[in-house]
């Protein structure tokens, strides 16, 4: 068990390309942190630098308070689970899990005790004698996790471990990983490009983009209070709706938001002071699909009516996603499944302005 | 009605397609059988003729009566002669020794070289791997005169040890090249996992790479074996006394005396000399074909 700290770490490849541009990150003991971001954002590189598989071009990495920049991977006391499992094909499941312990000269009894314990936690005890080729994808990934668990390392590193599994198995294994962390409580750094995985697993999520950290926070913080347009768009599924807008003066000292030069909506009184400095500037209006729902007669404060022409309807069972166009920008709304709607129909919606987001068009900063 | 017509038309077309597919498959099958039969005949006639001749007595061969493809009085006298002939035993033992040592040295060198070239990614490793292969492209016939000087300067002319020294120069480049290919096909994550598990580079090589790349190692071993067992030019150039000769030159220098060809004994010697390759190929092919890497990563 240990905390992990990254201090201004940089990864520069030959030719001057920077994959990681000086990030700072502190991960507490026993914390489950997920690095999430699109392909090429530097999340895997960061993880590999923590593992010692990539050299660090600048900055410092500390594990358990010690600088490990020049410590080889085997002396960092970490365990890693790879995207494509990386099981040793010629060894049985038992030997795969025991390999690291054998190299570290553990006694046979201790190796057996640890492997059996990990196999019990992961429910793979009946598979111990099999070779990896005789296992399904999910089983292989469990063995890969088992190999990490038996070592009882200071830190677990997961590099997109569920990307190769089918959708159903992925959900199942996600729960397994969470359960394992609740049992084993080792500091964990987990890399994924799937924001749902990030949200469901993490104590804290680190959103990365183009080699920098956009925001660090709990899943709820990121969801409700994104710091940038990138985070707002990346976290949440379906993604947040974005439209260009302008802030205008309203009646009685209030403010209005003129969205896409099509509709005008009043800004809730509680936000007026916050948004006033941005009056007349180029801004972006953001609203999640779940805050755009079917029209209710008994409106709450901040609920505003919007009428839009339906483009596509996607019934999902427990909800229906309805897509519209507003001045060329696609908009998605999440309505109750019993709401009647069909293409070309004008649908009355409620926009919950209490949950609107306003961003600077240039910097993407949420204000 | 029209729907019925359409349906039946469609099913006829489908049946027609199926028939034409069936016909194509049949043609392909016959084509391959004919090609394989021609191939088999071309390649099996010489060994058959060797067997037939080796079973004939010298008298029967020189009589040249009847079909040369048929043995009238089969005899094992040629084999018996060779097995009890001390020189032949010496050639055989020399060949075995040279081959075993060549294979061992070549494999140790090429496995280590291939591992470092394919995995350790040091400065110039790419260039060096290409260079290794290029040396294989230089024909041995160009090298044997300069090599003669080298072998002479270290006092190994007419010594079977000169072959132990020289054969690896033929086998190592190609074996290294094969092994680089095999090692490169092993997912990088496998050595990274081992590195994190606590393995040193040498342990990664011995405990992960060698077992996983066994088909490649066997392929390279077969190659090195073939080079050492069948090489003719170097032993012909560097060895001249019977006690140092290997099979390839021993057979021709001992069983061809002037213009007298002892065909029965030559053929029997060829068969005896072919035994080790046949046994080794038959035994190792099973390993060679078996895919050992299945299940390492998502396939």
Q: Are B198 and A71 contacting, i.e. CB atoms less than 8 angstroms apart?
A: no
**pLDDT digits 0-9 by tens, A236-270:** 889 999 999 999 998 888 899 998 878 899 999 99
- Chain B interface, Cβ < 8 Å to A: 187, 189-190, 192-200, 203, 207-208, 211-212, 292-298
What would the mean pLDDT of A358-364 be, rounded to a whole number? 93
pLDDT for res B9: 61
- Residues from chain B that touch A135, judged by Cβ atoms under 8 A, are 295
What's the distance, CA B166 to chain centroid? 18
A72, A103, A131: residue with CB nearest B197: A103
Residue B133 lies in a domain: yes
pLDDT interval class at A293 (50, 70, 90): very high
Residue A175 CB neighbours (<10 A): 11
**On the CB side of A224, how many CA atoms lie within 13 Å of its CA?**
5
Residue A178 vs residue B283, higher pLDDT: A178
**pLDDT digits 0-9 by tens, A166-175:** 888 888 889 9
**Mutation target vs B (from A48, A74, A86; most B CBs, 10 A cutoff):** A86
User: What's the order of all strands across the beta sheet hosting A187-192?
Assistant: A78-81, A155-159, A187-192, A32-36, A204-209, A212-217
Looking at the structure, tell me whether residues B50 and B85 fall in a common domain: no
Looking at the structure, tell me whether residues B140 and B7 fall in a common domain: no
Contact A87 B199 (CB under 8 A): no
Nearest one of B117, B231, B121 to B180, comparing CA atoms: B117
Q: Is B162 left (phi over 0), alpha (psi -120 to 50) or beta?
A: alpha
Residue B147 lies in a domain: yes
- For residue A75, give how far its alpha carbon lies from the nearest alpha carbon of chain B (Å): 7
Contact B295 A151 (CB under 8 A): no
User: What CA–CA distance (Å, rounded) separates A107 from A127?
Assistant: 22
Two structure tokens written together for A246: 């302008």
- Residues from chain A that touch B126, judged by Cβ atoms under 8 A, are none
Residue B73 lies in a domain: no
Contact B212 A82 (CB under 8 A): no
- Residues from chain A that touch B296, judged by Cβ atoms under 8 A, are 85-89, 132
State residue B100 phi and psi, 5-degree precision. Answer: -60, -45
What would the mean pLDDT of A131-155 be, rounded to a whole number? 91
Kindly report the pTM of this predicted structure: 0.80
**pLDDT digits 0-9 by tens, B285-298:** 766 555 444 344 44
What would the mean pLDDT of A147-161 be, rounded to a whole number? 92
Burial class (CB in 10 A: 0-12, 13-18, 19+), B213: buried
Checking if the pLDDT of B241 tops 60, the result is yes
pLDDT interval class at B2 (50, 70, 90): very low
Contact B194 A73 (CB under 8 A): no
- Round the average pLDDT of chain A to a whole number and report it: 92
**pLDDT digits 0-9 by tens, A179-190:** 889 988 899 999
ipTM over 0.90 threshold: no
pLDDT for res B70: 87
Looking at the structure, tell me whether residues B47 and B88 fall in a common domain: no
**pLDDT digits 0-9 by tens, A55-106:** 999 999 999 999 999 999 999 999 999 988 899 999 999 999 999 999 999 9
Range of the domain at B187: 80-298
Checking if the pLDDT of A31 tops 80, the result is yes
Checking if the pLDDT of B133 tops 90, the result is no
Residues 198-257 of A with CB under 8 A from B: none
pLDDT interval class at A361 (50, 70, 90): very high
- For residue B69, give how far its alpha carbon lies from the nearest alpha carbon of chain A (Å): 50
Contact A89 B189 (CB under 8 A): no
Contact A53 B212 (CB under 8 A): no
Looking at the structure, tell me whether residues B30 and B99 fall in a common domain: no
* B206 secondary structure, DSSP code: I
What would the mean pLDDT of B59-72 be, rounded to a whole number? 85
Looking at the structure, tell me whether residues B122 and B263 fall in a common domain: yes
Q: Are A261 and A272 contacting, i.e. CB atoms less than 8 angstroms apart?
A: no
Contact B196 A104 (CB under 8 A): no
User: What CA–CA distance (Å, rounded) separates A250 from A352?
Assistant: 18
A80, A86, A140: residue with CB nearest B187: A86
pLDDT interval class at B10 (50, 70, 90): low
Contact A89 B195 (CB under 8 A): no
**First CA to last CA across chain A, in angstroms?**
38
Looking at the structure, tell me whether residues B250 and B134 fall in a common domain: yes
Q: Which residues of B103-141 are buried (b: 16+ CB within 10 A; e: fewer)?
A: bebbbeebbebbbbbbbeeeeeeeeebeebeeebeeebe
**On the CB side of B208, how many CA atoms lie within 13 Å of its CA?**
30
B190, B195, B198: residue with CB nearest A88: B190
pLDDT for res A229: 95
pLDDT for res B288: 59
CATH code, domain carrying B127: 1.10.3720.10
**At which residue do the structure tokens 């019977």 appear?**
B242
Looking at the structure, tell me whether residues B48 and B126 fall in a common domain: no
User: What's the order of all strands across the beta sheet hosting A263-266?
Assistant: A263-266, A255-259, A241-249, A283-287, A357-360
pLDDT interval class at A2 (50, 70, 90): confident
In which element (H, E) is residue A349 found?
strand A346-352
Nearest CA in chain B to A88: B296
- Residues from chain B that touch A79, judged by Cβ atoms under 8 A, are 196
Looking at the structure, tell me whether residues B232 and B130 fall in a common domain: yes
pLDDT for res A299: 79
Q: Which residues of A84-110 are buried (b: 16+ CB within 10 A; e: fewer)?
A: bbbbbbbbbbbbbbbbbbebeebeeee
Looking at the structure, tell me whether residues B103 and B178 fall in a common domain: yes
Lowest-confidence segment of A32-46, B100-114, B177-191 by average pLDDT: B177-191
What would the mean pLDDT of A140-153 be, rounded to a whole number? 91
Looking at the structure, tell me whether residues B39 and B85 fall in a common domain: no
Contact B197 A147 (CB under 8 A): yes
State residue B67 phi and psi, 5-degree precision. Answer: -70, 135
Two structure tokens written together for B287: 């390993």
pLDDT interval class at B18 (50, 70, 90): low
Residue B64 lies in a domain: no
Residue B67 lies in a domain: no
Checking if the pLDDT of B108 tops 70, the result is yes
* A261 secondary structure, DSSP code: T
Residues 129-168 of A with CB under 8 A from B: 131-135, 137, 140, 147, 151, 164
The residue length of chain A stands at: 367
pLDDT for res B198: 92
What would the mean pLDDT of A318-336 be, rounded to a whole number? 92
pLDDT interval class at A307 (50, 70, 90): very high
User: What's the order of all strands across the beta sheet hosting A18-27?
Assistant: A18-27, A4-12, A58-63, A66-67
Q: Are A217 and A205 contacting, i.e. CB atoms less than 8 angstroms apart?
A: yes
Number of domains in chain B: 2
pLDDT interval class at B124 (50, 70, 90): confident
Nearest one of A257, A250, A300, A307 to A278, comparing CA atoms: A257
Q: For the CA atoms of chain B, what is the radius of gyration?
A: 27
- For residue A337, give how far its alpha carbon lies from the nearest alpha carbon of chain B (Å): 39
Residue B231 lies in a domain: yes
Nearest one of B131, B145, B157, B124 to B240, comparing CA atoms: B157
Among B38, B54, B70, the domain boundary falls at: B54
In which element (H, E) is residue B283 found?
helix B263-289
Q: Quick check: bond before A148 cis, omega within 30?
A: no
Q: Is B218 left (phi over 0), alpha (psi -120 to 50) or beta?
A: alpha
Residue B218 lies in a domain: yes
- Residues from chain B that touch A90, judged by Cβ atoms under 8 A, are 211-212, 292
pLDDT for res A25: 95
DSSP string, A149-215: HHT--SEEEEESTTTTS-HHHHHHHHHHHHHHHHHH--EEEEEES-HHHHHHH-SEEEEEETTEEEE
The residue length of chain B stands at: 299
User: What CA–CA distance (Å, rounded) separates A150 from A93?
Assistant: 12
Looking at the structure, tell me whether residues B129 and B14 fall in a common domain: no
- For residue B240, give how far its alpha carbon lies from the nearest alpha carbon of chain A (Å): 48
Looking at the structure, tell me whether residues B193 and B45 fall in a common domain: no
Among B39, B54, B69, the domain boundary falls at: B54
Residue B93 lies in a domain: yes
**pLDDT digits 0-9 by tens, A193-252:** 998 999 999 999 999 999 999 999 999 999 999 999 999 999 988 999 999 999 999 888
B192, B198, B293: residue with CB nearest A53: B192
Nearest one of B231, B233, B227, B267 to B251, comparing CA atoms: B267
- Residues from chain A that touch B215, judged by Cβ atoms under 8 A, are none
Percentage of chain A beyond pLDDT 70 is 100
Is A193 touching B (CB cutoff 8 A)? no
pLDDT interval class at B22 (50, 70, 90): confident
């Amino acid at each position: 068990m240990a905390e992990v700290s990254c201090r201004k770490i940089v990864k520069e490849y030959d030719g001057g390309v920077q994959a990681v541009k000086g990030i700072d990150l502190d991960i507490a003991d026993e914390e489950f942190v997920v690095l999430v971001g699109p392909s090429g954002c530097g999340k895997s590189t960061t993880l590999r630098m923590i593992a010692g598989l990539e050299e660090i071009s600048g900055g410092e990495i500390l594990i358990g308070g010690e600088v490990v920049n020049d410590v080889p991977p085997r002396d960092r006391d970490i365990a890693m689970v790879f995207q494509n499992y990386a099981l040793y094909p010629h060894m049985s499941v038992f030997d795969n899990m025991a390999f690291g312990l054998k190299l570290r000269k553990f006694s046979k009894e201790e190796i057996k005790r640890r492997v059996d314990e990990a196999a019990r936690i992961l429910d793979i005890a009946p598979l111990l004698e099999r070779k990896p080729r005789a296992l399904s994808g999910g089983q292989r990934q469990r063995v890969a996790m088992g190999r990490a668990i038996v070592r009882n390392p200071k830190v677990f590193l997961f590099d997109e471990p569920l990307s190769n599994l089918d959708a159903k198995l992925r959900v199942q294994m996600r729960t397994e990983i969470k359960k394992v962390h609740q049992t084993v409580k080792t500091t964990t750094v987990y890399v994924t490009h799937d924001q749902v995985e990030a949200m469901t697993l993490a104590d804290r999520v680190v959103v990365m983009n183009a080699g920098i950290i956009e925001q660090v926070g709990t899943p709820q913080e990121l969801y409700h209070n994104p710091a940038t347009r990138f985070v707002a768009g990346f976290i949440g599924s379906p993604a947040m709706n974005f439209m260009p807008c302008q802030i205008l003066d309203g009646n009685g000292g209030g403010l209005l938001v003129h969205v896409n030069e099509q509709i005008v909506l009043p800004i809730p009184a509680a936000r007026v002071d916050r948004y006033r400095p941005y009056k007349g500037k180029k801004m972006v209006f953001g609203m999640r699909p779940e805050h755009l729902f079917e029209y209710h007669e008994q409106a709450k404060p901040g609920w505003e009516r919007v009428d839009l022409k339906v483009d596509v309807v996607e019934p999902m069972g427990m909800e229906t996603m309805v897509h519209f166009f507003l001045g060329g920008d696609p908009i998605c709304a999440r309505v109750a499944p019993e709401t009647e709607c069909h293409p070309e129909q004008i649908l009355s919606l409620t926009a919950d302005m209490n949950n609107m987001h306003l961003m600077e068009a240039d910097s993407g900063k949420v204000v | 009605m029209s729907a019925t017509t359409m349906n039946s038309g469609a099913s006829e077309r489908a049946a027609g397609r199926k028939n034409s597919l069936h016909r194509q498959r049949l043609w392909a099958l016959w084509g391959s059988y004919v090609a394989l039969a021609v191939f088999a005949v071309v390649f099996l006639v010489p060994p058959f003729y060797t067997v037939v001749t080796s079973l004939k007595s010298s008298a029967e061969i020189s009589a040249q009566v009847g079909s040369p493809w048929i043995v009238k009085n089969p005899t094992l006298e040629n084999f018996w002669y060779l097995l009890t002939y001390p020189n032949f035993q010496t050639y055989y033992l020399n060949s075995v020794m040279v081959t075993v040592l060549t294979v061992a040295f070549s494999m140790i060198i090429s496995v280590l070289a291939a591992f470092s070239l394919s995995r350790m990614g040091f400065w110039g490793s790419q260039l060096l791997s290409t260079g290794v292969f290029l040396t294989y492209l230089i024909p041995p016939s160009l090298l044997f005169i300069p090599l003669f000087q080298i072998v002479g300067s270290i006092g190994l002319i007419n010594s079977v040890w000169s072959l132990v020294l020289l054969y690896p120069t033929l086998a190592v480049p190609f074996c290294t090249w094969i092994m680089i290919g095999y090692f490169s096909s092993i997912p990088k994550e496998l050595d990274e996992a081992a590195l994190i598990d606590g393995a040193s580079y040498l342990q990664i090589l011995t405990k992960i790479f060698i077992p996983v790349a066994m088909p490649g190692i066997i392929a390279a071993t077969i190659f090195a074996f073939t080079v050492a067992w069948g090489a003719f030019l170097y032993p012909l150039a560097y060895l001249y006394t019977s006690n140092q000769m290997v099979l390839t030159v021993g057979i021709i220098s001992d069983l061809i005396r002037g213009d007298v060809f002892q065909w029965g004994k030559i053929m029997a010697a060829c068969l005896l000399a072919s035994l080790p390759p046949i046994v080794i190929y038959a035994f190792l092919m099973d390993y060679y074909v078996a895919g050992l890497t299945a299940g390492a990563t998502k396939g």
